[in-house]
């Protein structure tokens, strides 16, 4: 039982560490005004905070296409109906429409290099654009960028948009790229939004406060840790139950083994008294008793490893049944450290039990012991 509860407790701790990585807890910072962006200096300060895993920056920009046409059903000739929208992330797979499965890559790949872009498949078909072709954009300020098409995407909602929608807001005219590509076109350098990923979700409140001090009132901070909290609670409940079981098992084992050793010593009192009367050293007698006890303990430990592994699997099924942590790979198998814990705890209990049961016998005068036995 000590081994099985120890295995589950260790596996639960490992699962909690894995949970901290898989849930991708983050703090979102979005600017309040377009003319007051998050700067590179702000990013560098946040990156230096303890406990930051990575930062995914986001920037958007409207630009005019110079060698292709936008997709639109609106005949208006105002600025918004002549532009496309550039959306940049350091990693498109972490945040935004791709991460939230609103759109998906249907051909090609995500942008990996500066100036690579992913465009809508309908926009590509309308303009007869192929992967590897170059599309050119120009801003109001006259800055230009050549983007190499690395892939196509679709959302499935293209046909559901209003005919009156300006081209810059249409899904077909949204073009995804890296943030550094957009930075080269900006008049005011900076980012509209950043996602700050944490190494340890337990530090969320602390890091949020530190970010607030750095960014001030120009941003709104939003915590994203719901998944971690939902999965953490049942896991911690299991860990509390297993810890209690472990302590109860250790306590019960100590009591039962001590009682058994006391009964065993009671039956050998006369034998010990005779050995002492014959002049045998008490230390050698104690060593003999320890050797006998540890031989029995060694045999029982081998059995415990086999039985404990089976019992741990059964306990895992009972304790984790119905819990919302099925995505975690909780490995239930004894390692050397688990067997070492079993041996150490068993040896400690055995030493205590032998001490309580044997020492009073060794301290008693052998004549008194023999006379009591004869009486």
Pick from 153-162, 163-172, 293-302, 331-340: least confident: 331-340
Q: What pLDDT digit, counting tens, does each position of 122-138 carry? A: 999 999 999 999 999 99
SS3 for 18-87 is HHHHHCCCEEEEEECCCCCCECHHHHHHHHCCCCEEEEEEEEEEEEEECCCCCCCCCCCCCHHHCCEEEE
Whole-number Å distance between alpha carbons of 350 and 293: 8
pLDDT per residue as tens digits for the range 39-55: 999 999 999 999 899 99
Distance CA 68, CA 230 (A): 47
pTM above 0.75, yes or no: no
pLDDT confidence bin for 327, thresholds 50/70/90 = very low
CA proximity to 172, closest of 103, 116, 95: 103
Are 168 and 80 a contacting pair, CB within 8 Å? yes
Tokens of 364: 């008693």
pLDDT tens-digit series, residues 192-213: 999 999 988 888 889 999 999 9
Percentage of residues of the chain with pLDDT beyond 70:
73
In degrees, to the nearest 5, what angle opens at C-alpha 268 toward C-alphas 349 and 365? 100
Q: Which residues neighbour 229 within 8 Å (Cβ) at sequence distance 6 or greater?
A: none
């Amino acid at each position: 039982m000590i081994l099985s509860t120890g295995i589950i407790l260790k596996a639960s701790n490992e699962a909690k560490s894995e949970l901290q990585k898989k849930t991708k807890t983050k703090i979102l910072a979005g600017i309040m005004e377009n003319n007051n962006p998050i700067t590179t200096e702000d990013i560098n300060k946040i990156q230096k905070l303890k406990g930051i895993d990575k930062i995914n920056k986001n920037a958007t920009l409207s630009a005019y296409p110079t060698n292709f046409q936008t997709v639109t059903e609106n005949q208006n000739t105002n600025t918004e109906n002549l532009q496309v929208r550039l959306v940049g992330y350091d990693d498109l797979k972490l945040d935004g429409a791709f991460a939230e499965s609103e759109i998906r890559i249907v051909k090609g790949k995500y942008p990996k290099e500066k100036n690579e872009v992913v465009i809508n498949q309908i926009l590509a078909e309308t303009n007869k654009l192929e992967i590897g072709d170059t599309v050119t954009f120009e801003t109001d300020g006259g800055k230009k960028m050549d983007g190499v098409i690395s892939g196509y995407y679709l959302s499935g909602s293209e046909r559901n948009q209003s005919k009156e929608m300006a081209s810059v807001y249409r899904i077909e005219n949204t073009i995804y790229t890296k943030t550094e590509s957009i930075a080269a076109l900006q008049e005011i350098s900076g980012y509209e939004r950043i996602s700050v990923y944490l190494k340890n979700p337990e530090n969320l409140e602390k890091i949020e406060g530190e970010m607030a001090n750095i960014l001030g009132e120009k941003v709104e901070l939003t915590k994203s840790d719901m998944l971690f909290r939902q999965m953490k609670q049942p896991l911690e409940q299991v860990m509390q139950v297993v810890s209690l079981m472990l302590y109860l098992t250790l306590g019960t084992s100590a009591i039962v083994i001590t009682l058994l050793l006391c009964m065993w010593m009671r039956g050998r009192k006369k034998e010990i008294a005779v050995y002492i009367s014959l002049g045998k050293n008490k230390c050698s007698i104690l060593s003999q008793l320890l050797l006998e006890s540890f031989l029995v303990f060694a045999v029982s430990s081998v059995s415990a490893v086999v039985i404990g592994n089976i019992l741990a699997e059964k306990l895992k099924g009972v304790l984790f049944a119905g819990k919302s942590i099925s995505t975690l790979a909780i490995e239930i198998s004894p390692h050397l450290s688990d067997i070492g814990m079993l041996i150490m705890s068993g040896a400690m209990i055995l030493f205590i039990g032998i001490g309580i049961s044997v020492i009073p016998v060794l301290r008693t005068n052998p004549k008194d012991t023999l006379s009591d036995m004869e009486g």
